[in-house]
A = this chain, B = another copy of it.
Amino acid sequence: MAQHLRQVERALEDFLAPHAPPQSAWAAPTDLNNAMRYAVLDGGKRLRPLLVLAAFEAVSGTPAGGEDAAPLCAACAVELIHAYSLVHDDMPCMDNDVLRRGKPTVHVQFGQAGALLAGDALQTLAFEVLTPLDASVEPAVQARLCAILARASGRVGMAGGQAIDLSSVGLALTEDSLRHMHQLKTGALLQASVMMGAACGTASAAALQALEAYGQAIGLAFQVVDDVLDVTADSATLGKTAGKDANNDKPTYVALMGLERSRAYAATLAGEAHAALRASGLPDTAALAALANMVIHRDH
């Protein structure tokens, strides 16, 4: 996992380097590039990239970071989408937050227009990263990765979940509605991370189905734990403002089922994730299992 983290950090640094990208006549404007770097580098658990790389290794039996650039491109692309969503979610017209990853949020540091543009350009960069102009990723794999990522990020994925979140402030959602919101808002991208890693290799239909179930379980578990931490952790540990969901009157698992039942539910979901891995028929799912545990036992 430590090696994967180093690979991801180095690749993100490369993709956000200040010089002109391959085959481009120009570099990105300095202000914009600085805001993009600020949003992405030096922080973040990199859970999504780690899921991509672990899923790739589970289906392929090959270490990520070899000649095939696809897994690392996919890992970075999904992190860029995640970073863009945080930049826009923190803006004053959304959650209006000033603290993220222990630092002032992007709009505090670069202004609202700067944050808006940096988020926009980070989203675009994800699709640039998935479609390198050299021959390092098979075109069919590029297309498949773009297809998965776009659907997980857009109106029937992350952005859709965010829209439901916005319109749910002050409402008492049913458990089904809450699950639906979170499957879109957080779950879709976490699940997509797993499926993108698998798409960089070759997996049987049964293994893909098991990985889909694993991704869905950890996606939901992640959000349940998020809701628990929002109530139980402090801002310094979280690196973001604690208690803000409760303060903003947002529907959460803790509000719906209380702290203890939420914790138990997260553990149940982790159990489902492990069961899916056992059912996958894949020979080595230890890294995916470790990531499921990390989702449950994280303190931020």
Query: Which of A's residues lie within 8 Å of B, judged by CB?
Result: 20-21, 24-29, 31-33, 36, 84, 88, 91, 93-94, 111-114, 116-117, 119-121, 123-125, 127-128, 130-131, 133, 139-140, 142-144, 146-147, 149-151, 153-157, 159-160, 162-164, 166-167, 180, 184
Q: Which residues of B contact A84 (CB under 8 A)?
A: 120
Given contacts A130-B146, A150-B128, are A156 and B28 in contact (CB under 8 A)? yes
Contacting pair B155 A144 (CB below 8 A): no
A143→B139 CA distance, assembly (Å)? 6
Tell me the nearest residue of chain B to A111, going by C-beta. Answer: B93
Please pick, from B26, B119, B144, B160, the residue contacting A180 in the complex, using a CB distance under 8 A. Answer: B26
Are A29 and B146 also in contact (CB < 8 A) when A24-B151, A156-B21 are?
Answer: no
CA distance A173 to B119 in the complex (A): 27
Given A123-B123, A130-B146, A142-B146, A32 contacting B116 (CB threshold 8 A): no
The listed residue with most B CB atoms (<10 A of its CB), out of A21, A121, A127, A128, is A127
A6 to B198, CA, bound (A): 40
Q: At the interface, is chain A mostly helix, strand, loop or mixed?
A: helix
Instruction: For the A-B complex with A26-B160, A28-B160, A117-B159 known, give 7 more contacts whose Cβ atoms are closer than 8 Å.
Output: A26-B156, A28-B163, A29-B160, A93-B116, A131-B150, A139-B140, A143-B143
- Choose from B112, B150, B166 the contact partner of A93 (Cβ within 8 Å): B112
Q: How far is the CA of A114 from the CA of B142 in the complex (A)?
A: 31
A151 touches B128 (CB 8 A): yes
A276 to B116, CA, bound (A): 37
Partner of A29 from the list B121, B133, B163 (CB cut-off 8 Å) is: B163
Distance A120 CA – B85 CA, assembled complex (angstroms): 9
Which of B25, B116, B124, B133 contacts A91, CB < 8 Å? B116
Point out the residues of chain B lying under 8 angstroms from A123, CB to CB: 120, 123-124
Chain B residues within 8 Å of A133, by CB: 147
Q: Which residues of B contact A144 (CB under 8 A)?
A: 131, 139
**CB-defined A-B contacts under 8 Å, sample of 19:** A21-B151, A26-B160, A29-B164, A32-B159, A33-B155, A93-B112, A93-B113, A93-B116, A114-B166, A117-B159, A119-B120, A123-B123, A123-B124, A124-B153, A124-B157, A125-B154, A128-B150, A142-B143, A143-B143
